Structure 1
Amino acid sequence: MLRMAAGVKFTEVYDGNDDLARFTRIRVTQGSVAALKAFDARESAQGARFHYASSQTVALTVLLRAATGMSLSEYLTARLWQPMGAEADATWVRTRDGTEAGSGNFNAGLRDYGRLGILLANDGALDGKQIVPKDYLLEATDWHRQPDAFKPGIATPFFGYGYQFWTFPGEKRKFALLGVYGQSIFIDPGLKLVMVITAAAKNASVGKESFARERGALWRGVVAKYGSW
C-alpha cells in the first residue's frame, strides 16, 4: 500500500462519479473500514503495478491507529512535527468515525511545509538528530531502489513512485510530494534545495491546464541555476 500497489480495482478521476466519490460516501455514512471493505475486486496481483488510489492511504491510516493506538495526527505531532520545529499545529480533517481523512485534507502553513521539505532534503536529519530514519527515507525516495514497475516512465509516463513519494527520472535523486489541485513540495537532496507550491489549480488533474507545465519549468529552472538536472 505504501507503493499504491494493492491491486484493488479503484477509479480516481475526480469527476464526482468515480470510485473515490463512492468510497467517500460510504466512509461518511458507514465508516472507514466499511468503505475499504466495499472495494474487494482485484485487477492485478498485489505489488505488481502502480495504481494510484486514495483508499490505500486511508487503509494505512486505519492500520497505523490499530498498530500504535494513536491517531495519525497524534503520531505525526510526536514523531515528526514537533521534533522538526514546526511553528503551528497541523492536523487532518476527521471523518465522522473519528479517523483522519489520511489521503488529503491536511492543514499546515507554508513555512512549516518548507521545514518539512528541508528535513527531507537533509535525509531526515535536523541539528544532528535523525528524526526520520535515513535508510527508510532513501528507500522511499530513490527510484533505483524500487521494483521496475515503479520506476519513472513505467509507473507513469514521467514520474516514478516510492513509498508515498513521487520520484523524478534521472540518475540524481529528486522527489516530490504532490497534492490534488497542484499543492506540492519538490526536493533535491543533492543541492539541499526545496520548492513549496501552495497555489491551487482549477482542475484536480493539473495536466489538464498549463499549471503542471509551468510548475515543472520553474522547478527545472531553479535546479539548473544551482546545479544540473
Structure 2
Amino acid sequence: MKDNFSTQAGQYAKFRPSYPQEMIEYIVSQVKNRELALDVATGNGQVAALLSGYFTKVFANDISQKQLDNAAKKENIIYSVSSAEKTEFDDNSFDLITVAQAIHWFDFDAFYKEVYRILKPDGIFAVMGYGLLYTNAEADKILRHFYEDITGPYWDPERRYLDENYTTIPFPFNEQEIPRFVNEFTWEFEQLTGYLETWSAVQHYIKEHNTNPVDIIRDELKEVWEKGDRKVYFPLLLRVGQLK
C-alpha cells in the first residue's frame, strides 16, 4: 500500500473528520463477541479510539510511524507498524476487522487473503470511508473546481474508488444490506482549509510546484464561507460482510 500521509500526519490528526457514533454502533451491533478488534491502516487512530469503548482490546496497525505518533492513546489500544497485506497476528484472531478511508490503497488480493486468515469464522469485516464533502451552493462550486480542475491531475488513480462510493472495490464476503449514514459538522474557515490541505493531491501539487494550491481559492472561499451557514456534510461509505 502507498504512504501518502506521513508528510502531513500532524494535520491529518487535527483536521480529518471523525466518524459518527451511530455508524460505529451499527457496525459493533453486528459483532457477536467483543473481545478483539483490529483497525487496519489506522492512521491517527480515529476508528481504533471509537472501537476501544466496545472491545476488550483493540489492535491498530499502519505503515506510517509518523501517523501512529499522532494517534489517539487509550489503555486498551495496541499500535504497531505493519502493512495491511502482511501482519504478525495469529490465525482466527479477530471478532471485527475495520478499514477506514484506506482500502483503495491496498493490494486487494493480498489483503483479503490476510483478512481470511486472521478474522474469526463468525467475525465481521467492515470497510468505511467518506466521499467528497458538500456544503452551501456557492462554496460547493468553488470546492468542486478545486477538486476537479486544480487538484484533479494530482490525485492518485486509486481515488476513483472513493468517487465510485467503494461500490467497485472487490468485496469477497457475504455482504449485508446497511443503512445510509451522513456526517455533519459546523466548521470554521480554518478547519475547512486545514482539511483540504490533508488531501494527498494537495501534497502532490505542493511537491511539484512548491506552492499550496489552497491559496488559489483561499480568498474567494473565505468570502463565501463567512457569509454562509458553515455546515459541512460528508456522505459516508460503508460495506459490511462475513467470511464466505
TM-score w.r.t. the length of structure 1 is: 0.26
Higher relative contact order, structure no. (Cα contacts within 8 Å, ≥ 6 residues apart): 2
TM-score w.r.t. the length of structure 2 is: 0.25
